Amino acid sequence: MMKFISWNVNGLRAADNKGFREIFRDFDADFFCVQETKLREGQIDMQFDGYKSWWDYADRPGYSGTAIFSRHEPLSVKYGIGVDVHDHEGRAVTLEYPDFFLVCVYTPNSQDGLARLPYRMDWENCFLEYVKSLDCLKPVIICGDLNVAHKEIDLANPKANRQSAGFSDEERNAFSRLLDAGFTDSFRHLHPDTTQVYSWWSYRGRAREKNVGWRIDYFVVSRRLAERISVADIHCDIKGSDHCPVELILND
């Protein structure tokens, strides 16, 4: 059995002041992936007994950033997705293991008015090609904030948010293309009809208190791993960020 956790912490230093280290230890995961660290190298000293960590930093200070803490030494580590225009924002860390690749990713936000949608769509195309190239070699586990609610069931107010960032047709279709390329949304695999379970809530309008949220944080796995998924949970009760942690457990 292997346990994976993924969490967009919306600033690791801020999350650290809200109990991140205790939450980390309580999960007792094999792999703990974080997004939106908002750090430059050397800005935090965060080490856990039995874990090593790998960090992808953005060129721009206080922006984006991803990291993986792991109990298991990888065969190789890659930062970014191998496309220069997309590899300066600290958006991806890939660890290779004998039987799988683990990709921690923070997908670009399309922003208000879909101002960054063209960049986002180019990212989607490049990222899809990247994970398909990995999947040709061995199974892939993709986790992180993918900044899209795939179906109407995945957000509280689908009609009001149609063509908003994170729920545009273009972004939703890109997620469908990922699944069609041989990948499985682990949460929907186990919970196909579950409603009102979200992983992100706006800080405005007491959205979290009212559970007016979006499911935009995922574990997406190569389809040939789907039969090994035993747990795919969303830990809505855990605070410390505007996102909550998501979990995957794979049987051996």
Point out the residues that are catalytic: 106, 145
- Comparing CA positions, the residue from 243, 240, 195, 193 lying closest to residue 218 is 243
Tokens linked to 102: 């683990």
H or E element, residue 128: helix 117-135
* The pair of three-digit structure tokens given for residue 179, joined into one six-digit string: 């699944």
Pick from 229, 161, 224: nearest CA to 190: 229
Residues 20, 38: Cα–Cα separation, whole Å: 15
Q: Residue 222, Cα to own-chain centre: how many angstroms?
A: 15
CB atoms within 10 A of CB 39: 23
Q: Which of 242, 233, 240 is nearest to 4 (CA)?
A: 233
3-class SS at 101?
A: strand
Pairwise CA distance, residues 88 & 81, whole Å:
10
DSSP 236: T
